Chain A
Amino acid sequence: GAVVSQHPSWVICKSGTSVKIECRSLDFQATTMFWYRQFPKQSLMLMATSNEGSKATYEQGVEKDKFLINHASLTLSTLTVTSAHPEDSSFYICSAIGGVDEKLFFGSGTQLSVL
């Protein structure tokens, strides 16, 4: 079946630095990818919809200058958390639509810890 690879699995960074998370569709092309964040014991919250070759669409309340999304190819979308702060610590998950029946496939997630 279709696979979405997300990297890194976890990252620890200092406050004020930027962190890039990659999301790749391994055996299918994904014109649309989604980025979610999840706090402990809570559900997934959609941050933005990433469209190949165009600007991402951000959900209300999500700062586009804070969370930079680039979807430069049909198999790769990246999320950059700029000037990260401790409140940005969270579990970030990407997903992509793929397959003949257009299921949604999820990456394994990235645990970000900002010190």
Chain B
Amino acid sequence: DAKTTQPNSMESNEEEPVHLPCNHSTISGTDYIHWYRQLPSQGPEYVIHGLTSNVNNRMASLAIAEDRKSSTLILHRATLRDAAVYYCILRTWGATNKLIFGTGTLLAVQP
């Protein structure tokens, strides 16, 4: 699996938008960009995924660069419950290949 690079930590204030960046310069054409988050003492939770176009769901938005070498997870209004470690992962569609986690970004949300 191609490697991703994320900042170790970020801070945000409650009710403000948060932009979590991810670099994946070695992404291949068949790699989907997945985001998961993990709250303390819990298993990771799916957030969003995309291939080329920007994606929106009830949890977040995913903005993908035109060259696909980077992406940004956008939380439109951070809440205290969004404090977690966010992982950006590349995965090939249709394959049962393993999912390799990087170090992720620890998001702290201040009230």
Within 8 A of A (CB), among B62-97: 85, 87, 91, 93-94, 96
Given A43-B87, A108-B43, does the pair A34, B49 have CB atoms closer than 8 Å?
A: no
Interface residues on B, range: 20 to 34
Interface residues on A, range: 20 to 34
Q: How many A-B residue pairs have CB under 8 A?
A: 52
How long is the Cα–Cα vector from A42 to B98 in the complex, in angstroms? 18
How long is the Cα–Cα vector from A104 to B99 in the complex, in angstroms? 9
B residues sitting closer than 8 Å to A (CB atoms) are 34, 36, 38, 41-46, 49, 85, 87, 91, 93-94, 96, 98-104
Q: Is the interface of A mostly helix, strand, loop or mixed?
A: strand
- Report whether A34 and B102 are in contact in the complex, using a CB–CB cutoff of 8 Å: no
Does A95 reach chain B (CB closer than 8 Å)?
yes
Closest to A104 in B: B99
Determine the chain A residues whose CB is within 8 A of the CB of B93 once the complex forms: 102
Does A106 reach chain B (CB closer than 8 Å)?
yes
Chain B: minimal CB distance from A10 (Å): 9
Determine the chain B residues whose CB is within 8 A of the CB of A49 once the complex forms: 96, 98
Given A43-B87, A91-B41, does the pair A34, B98 have CB atoms closer than 8 Å?
A: yes
- Report whether A109 and B43 are in contact in the complex, using a CB–CB cutoff of 8 Å: yes
Determine the chain B residues whose CB is within 8 A of the CB of A106 once the complex forms: 36, 43-45
- Report whether A46 and B100 are in contact in the complex, using a CB–CB cutoff of 8 Å: yes
Given A103-B49, A105-B46, does the pair A46, B98 have CB atoms closer than 8 Å?
A: yes
